[in-house]
Structure formats: structure tokens, C-alpha cells
């Protein structure tokens, strides 16, 4: 896969543009990067604040050949890539299942994977937002969000961050596509996430609340949750939050 960066000063959404480019036949590895978004989005149509030059807004076109059941692992793969990118800048991140990256419990990055059918087959768009400066999120959420500048005292350039992220996505996406690649990605994810096993969490799914302890991942990336009665529930989607010891 060859990484090609296409940078915009202003765009509605890098994911929207990448979806469009994929349908027009864009090769795997095309990355849409913007200095500012007017309609950035996260999971469940949530808004991703995208102030000018305050974050990395990045979407890459992938054309995976893995079995359909393993497509959810692309989000995990991207989480590993974001983790290692941030580590290059002196940060010690943690991956929160399934699509967030935290530092000391505060969100620094979010991932949104979307699919589309094209004339040459299925394309997956992986969108990544990384807070570079605290100005990328409103003050009222400063207790749950953080940025590279807040953690290190230095704001890196968008270009350097995009280059590093592209490098790690290229590497780990290659791992995913190898023989036994899905198992390898789960192992890599497990090494980088405290949520893999033994984490007391609350899971919200379509208004239903479950609590328990994380107990590893299934081969397709689903989170195993051990409830208090010992039964195991597979979490394929939902909001997962760590429980404090008193909860």
C-alpha cells in the first residue's frame, strides 16, 4: 500500500471526502487530511470538534481482502497505530474499546470506520481525530479530554503527525492482511490496552446497561464481558466506560 496525502485547508469532513474518493476509484492508501473541518463526526453521529490547526483530521481509504467477519478488526488495528503514533511524541496512551485512545483517562483521539461499495469492491474509510491543542475541545469537557500539547508542553505539526500515523497504519494494516493476521492484531491490541482483561466497566447498548469485568476479545474483536453471575456476554457495539471502585 502506498500512502498518498491529500491536504485541504477547509473541508466538511475528511471521512465524507474519502468516501467520495473511494467511490470514484481512489487507490488504497489515499489519505485525506484537513486543517479544519466544518462537519467532523464521530460514532453515532456525534460531533468531532475540528478547530483550525488544533488537531489532526485524517481519513484513509482501505480496500481490505480479509474475511468479512474480521472487518471490525480494522478499528482495532487503527487504535494500535494511533497508540504507537502518540508514543513517538512521548505520550503514554491507552486504547479504550473500541475506538477511543486515552491518556490518564482523558480522551485524546477517536476513530470512525465506515464502509462503502465501489465499482472495484468494498472500501473501508478509517477516520482518525487527534487533539493537538486544548483549543480543539470546549473548556467544559477539559476534565475528560486532553491533547498532545497538554500532555507534553509541545504542539506537533499536522504534517509530522499525519506522516507518523500513515506509517503505522501502513505497517499494522499489512500485519492484519497476513496469514493469522487477525490473531496478531488482537495480540498487539491486548499489549496496549488496559481494557483487554480485568477492567471493571459499564456498557451501554441501546439504552440497556450492563456491568462486569472485561475478559479478552473474540477473534472478530468483540469484547468479552464477564457479569457478576459468571456468565460471558459478547459486546459487539456500545459505549464502554471504566467503573470506579466505589461503583
247 — pLDDT class (breaks 50, 70, 90): very low
DSSP-assigned letter for residue 218: -
Single out the residue of 94, 110, 85, 76 nearest to residue 182, CA to CA: 76
Q: How many CA atoms lie within 13 A of 108 on its CB side?
A: 25
pLDDT digits (tens, 9 = 90+) for 91-118: 999 999 999 999 999 999 999 999 999 9
pLDDT for residue 113: 95
pLDDT for residue 134: 87
Task: Report the range of poorest mean pLDDT among 23-27, 54-58, 73-77, 132-136.
Answer: 132-136
The whole-angstrom separation of Cα 59 and Cα 162 is 10
- Which helix (DSSP H) or strand (DSSP E) does residue 214 occupy? strand 208-217
pLDDT digits (tens, 9 = 90+) for 142-171: 899 999 999 999 989 999 999 999 999 999
210 compared with 246, residue with greater pLDDT? 210
pLDDT for residue 246: 47
Beta strand pairing call for 4-8 and 30-34? parallel
**CATH classification of 197-242 is 2.30.30.100, yes or no?**
yes
Task: Report the range of poorest mean pLDDT among 44-53, 106-115, 230-239.
Answer: 44-53
pLDDT for residue 47: 63
Segments making up each domain of the chain, as ranges: 4-192, 197-242
The whole-angstrom separation of Cα 226 and Cα 214 is 6
Q: Is the pLDDT of residue 223 over 60?
A: yes
CATH number of 4-192: 3.30.930.10
Amino acid at each position: 500500500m502506498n500512502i498518498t496525502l491529500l491536504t485541504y485547508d477547509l473541508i466538511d469532513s475528511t471521512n465524507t471526502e474519502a468516501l467520495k474518493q473511494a467511490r470514484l476509484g481512489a487507490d488504497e492508501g489515499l489519505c485525506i487530511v484537513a486543517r479544519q473541518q466544518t462537519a467532523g463526526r464521530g460514532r453515532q453521529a456525534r460531533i468531532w470538534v475540528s478547530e483550525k490547526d488544533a488537531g489532526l483530521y485524517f481519513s484513509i481509504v482501505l480496500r481490505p481482502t480479509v474475511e468479512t467477519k474480521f472487518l471490525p478488526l480494522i478499528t482495532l488495528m487503527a487504535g494500535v497505530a494511533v497508540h504507537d503514533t502518540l508514543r513517538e511524541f512521548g505520550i503514554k496512551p491507552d486504547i479504550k474499546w473500541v475506538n477511543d485512545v486515552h491518556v490518564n483517562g482523558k480522551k485524546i483521539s477517536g476513530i470512525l470506520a465506515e464502509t462503502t461499495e465501489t465499482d472495484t469492491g468494498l472500501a473501508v474509510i478509517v477516520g482518525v481525530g487527534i487533539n493537538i491543542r486544548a483549543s480543539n475541545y470546549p473548556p467544559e469537557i477539559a476534565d475528560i479530554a486532553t491533547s498532545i500539547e497538554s500532555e507534553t508542553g509541545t504542539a506537533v505539526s499536522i504534517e509530522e503527525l499525519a506522516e507518523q500515523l500513515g506509517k503505522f497504519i501502513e505497517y499494522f494494516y499489512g500485519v492484519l492482511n497476513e496469514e493469522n493476521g487477525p490473531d496478531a492484531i488482537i495480540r498487539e491490541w491486548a499489549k496496549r490496552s488496559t481494557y483487554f482483561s480485568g477492567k471493571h466497566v459499564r456498557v451501554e447498548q441501546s439504552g440497556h446497561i450492563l456491568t462486569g469485568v472485561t475478559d479478552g476479545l473474540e477473534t472478530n474483536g468483540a469484547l468479552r464481558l464477564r457479569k457478576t453471575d459468571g456468565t460471558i456476554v459478547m459486546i459487539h457495539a456500545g459505549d464502554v466506560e471504566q467503573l470506579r471502585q466505589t461503583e
